Every structure is written in C-alpha cells, then in structure tokens.
A = this chain, B = another copy of it.
Amino acid sequence: MGNKIKIAVIGGGSSYTPELVEGLIARRETVELRELALVDVEQGREKVETIAALTRRMLAKNGMEAVKVTVHFQPDEAIRGASFVLTQLRVGQLKARAADERLGLKYNLIGQETTGVGGFAKALRTIPVMLNIARKVEALAPEAWIINFTNPAGIVTEAVQRHTKAKIIGLCNVPITMHHMLAQMLDEPFEALRLQFAGLNHMVWVHEVNVRGENRTREVIDKLCNGATMTMNNIKEAPWPAALLRALGAIPCPYHRYFYLTREMLEEEQADAKAGGTRAEQVIKVEDSLFRQYRDPQLDHKPEALRFRGGAFYSQVALELIAAIHNDTGAQLVVNTANLGAIQGLAADAVVETNCLVDATGAKPLAFGALPPAMHALTTQIKTYEQLTIEAAVNGDKRAALLALIVNPLIGDAKLAADLLDEVLILNRDYLRPFI
C-alpha cells in the first residue's frame, strides 16, 4: 500500500464532494489515494450513497478504481487510519441556515451564515459537534490533520484548537478566489502574484499585490476605483466606494461588504428574500437539482451546474494544502491557523487567516507586523466576538453569548442582542444542549 493515504470526509454527503473528487483525480500523482471514507448522519443516507456512487464512477473513469470508497454513519471507522480528515458538515442542514437568515431579516439585520446573528447561531450549533469529531481524531488518529471547511471556519478552527489536541488547519476559498480574480485583473499568471493576506476568516484583506518583486497594490486599487469588480458567486456585487479603498490602501474581501456596506447589503438581502427567497432557500433548490443530476448512473464527472453552488476553487485549495503537508513541500498558502505573533496585537493562540508556509510540520504564518489602525480595530472586535461565541458554545454560557452579540458590529445594541439570543436559543434548542 506504500505511501498511499486514506482521507476521511465528515459531511461526505455534501453536494460539494464531487468538486473534491475532481481535485483528487487531477492531483493523483502528488497525492496517491488508498481510501476515501465518506461520513454523514443517518438521515443523510440517501445523499451520501448517491455521492459515493458518483465518486466511484468518476474514479473508475480515470483509472482509479483501486481507490476504496466507503460510507459511514459513525465517524470512528472512517477516522481510524486516515491521514487527513476533511470536515464540511452542516449541523441542522440548510433548513437551520434558512431559519437564521429569516431571523436576521425579521430584525432588519443581516442573517448571512458566517457573519452577524446567522454566523453566531451556526457557530453555537456546530462547535459541540466539531469538538466531538476532533476528540475522536485525537484518540483514533492523533497524527492526522483535520482540514476544516465547516463555517464559520475561523471560529470552528479556533474552538477545536483551543479545546482539543487534534491538529487542525482551517480553509476557505475566499483567498484563492481573490488570487484568481486579481491575476485576471492584472493579466498575469496565477503563479506570478504574491499576495499578502492578513486578517480573519471572511474578514481578510490583501495588503500587498506583488508581481515579480514589483508592488502593484496601488494599480489594483486604481482599477477597482475605476469600476473593475472582484466578487464571488454568493456575495452580491456592490462595487467598493473609491474613497473607502483609497483610505484603506488595501483590498477587502467580498465578505467585508457585510461590515463596510451594511445598509446596502441588508437592502439587497431583503429584496432577494422577497423575490427568490433567502440564500439558503435558493441553495436548497440548487441542491435538489444537483442531486437529481448526481443520481444519473451515466454521470461520471462533476456537473457544470455545481459552480453555481459557490465553492469555486474549493478542491484546488484543499488539494494544495494536503499535497504541501503530505509531500513536505514548504508551499506558501493562505490558511487559518494560530497567530503566534504573526499579526501584532492578537493573542498567540488566536486563529487568523494569513499567508503560511506549509510543510510536513504543519502551517506556520509569516510574520506580518501590525495591521493599520482601522483594520486592527475591526479585527479586534470580530476576534473578540468569535472568542466569546466559542466560550458560549463550549460552556453553554449565556452571559458570554450576550456579550458576543453586543460586540458583533452587525448587532451592537444590548436590548436587540438580548431579544436575538432568546430567539436563537429557542429556534436551535435541539442543537444547544450545553445551554439547557
């Protein structure tokens, strides 16, 4: 079996999995696979078996039928022997996400799944489940790396790192998507761009765009000020105000729109919800249609339609990380890991999203120095919100939960926060045993 590895996927029944499989096929020379173990909950049995069947067809088509594809409804067997455990689970499914969105809108607030009250509710539901999985990895495969995609990815990664000994790195497709877009904007190959990312997950800035030693940040900002857009499938395209970009001197990520353009984003969310439904409600439809395609016994490749789902470059970023660790390459990747002093003013154990060197020892952030003051203030606020949320989720601590919502810039008001907290706890009572 040699150096061939086993990868476990928690939440393997996700519609994203074919994207991952496509990546595994493309990289089969650098990451040789022995087994792909798909784990999901019992009520997702039909989905995960559909995915497993499609996966087998995709592998077979590419001469990889030797790779074992297994399906599990308990994580233990899947984790045992795995070198990597990918976590992409969704506690409460899209239904819970839709409820979060509707809760936000009811209060005239953004209900998006990683920021504001939506991200908060999702974090409370997800952290206990993720800690449970991480503790199994700790016990059954202590050398394995958890590669976490589960949102809110920064919070979830920090919770696992703080409360277990499992090795974990958080991933997001935002940095790589920005990288592709900036390469396109500058008409340069992807590899030629050196981008300096520093911030938090879904709240990261590009501080420098460098091409072969030349700093071209100002040029990019000029282009953006002159109408070039850079956005992602699942975030509305509101162009950045030029004054904001010039004042920042850096390029915000698309999710920054929730913080910098709150009013506009809320109006669009409200309009969308009235028209086609909230994002989750739309995704439910997309998923239905995707699974209809996946079930087709003739289908042996990732269907085009998956790209509307929003996970662009998901497999590129996952496979680059797996390859860098597995082959000890020392590649420079943007991941979520402990700060260790890289960003000044954040604690050593705060999880940040920034450029890291990745090899067999894991991911080490490159020292960045201090964020400019306005970015430091927002980062402190969000990181504090995140840590209070983790404290709330782990201990069922209502005081920490209330403070988390008050610190969150999308909420702030204490009475509003108290009302929201009551509703979140009731709506999610099936998932929030620590609070009972």
Which A residues have a C-beta under 8 Å from some C-beta of B?
Answer: 143, 192, 194, 196, 208, 210, 212-213, 215, 241, 243-244, 246-248, 259-264, 325, 328, 330-332, 339-345, 348, 355, 357, 359-361, 364-370, 373-374, 376-378, 380-381, 384-385, 387-388, 398-400, 402-403, 406-407, 409, 412-416, 418
Contacts A/B (CB < 8 Å), 15 sampled = A143-B213, A192-B328, A215-B361, A241-B414, A243-B402, A260-B413, A263-B416, A264-B415, A340-B344, A341-B343, A348-B369, A357-B366, A364-B367, A373-B387, A377-B384
Residue of B nearest to A343 (CB): B341
A340-B344, A377-B407, A409-B409 given; 9 more Cβ-contact pairs under 8 Å: A194-B359, A194-B360, A196-B361, A212-B360, A341-B369, A344-B348, A364-B367, A365-B366, A373-B388
A425 CB to nearest chain B CB (Å): 13
How many angstroms between the C-alpha atoms of A215 and B210 in the bound complex? Answer: 35
| B365 touching A367, Cβ below 8 Å | yes
Residue of B nearest to A359 (CB): B194
Residue of B nearest to A342 (CB): B367
Can you tell how many copies of this chain the complex includes? 4
How many angstroms between the C-alpha atoms of A388 and B210 in the bound complex? Answer: 28
How many angstroms between the C-alpha atoms of A344 and B418 in the bound complex? Answer: 29
| A387 proximity list for chain B (CB < 8 A) | 373
| A412 touching B413, Cβ below 8 Å | no
How many angstroms between the C-alpha atoms of A331 and B357 in the bound complex? Answer: 9
How many angstroms between the C-alpha atoms of A330 and B213 in the bound complex? Answer: 12
| A377 touching B378, Cβ below 8 Å | no
| B344 touching A342, Cβ below 8 Å | no
| B340 touching A367, Cβ below 8 Å | yes
How many angstroms between the C-alpha atoms of A243 and B399 in the bound complex? Answer: 8
Given contacts A344-B348, A367-B341, whether A407 and B374 have CB atoms under 8 Å apart is: yes
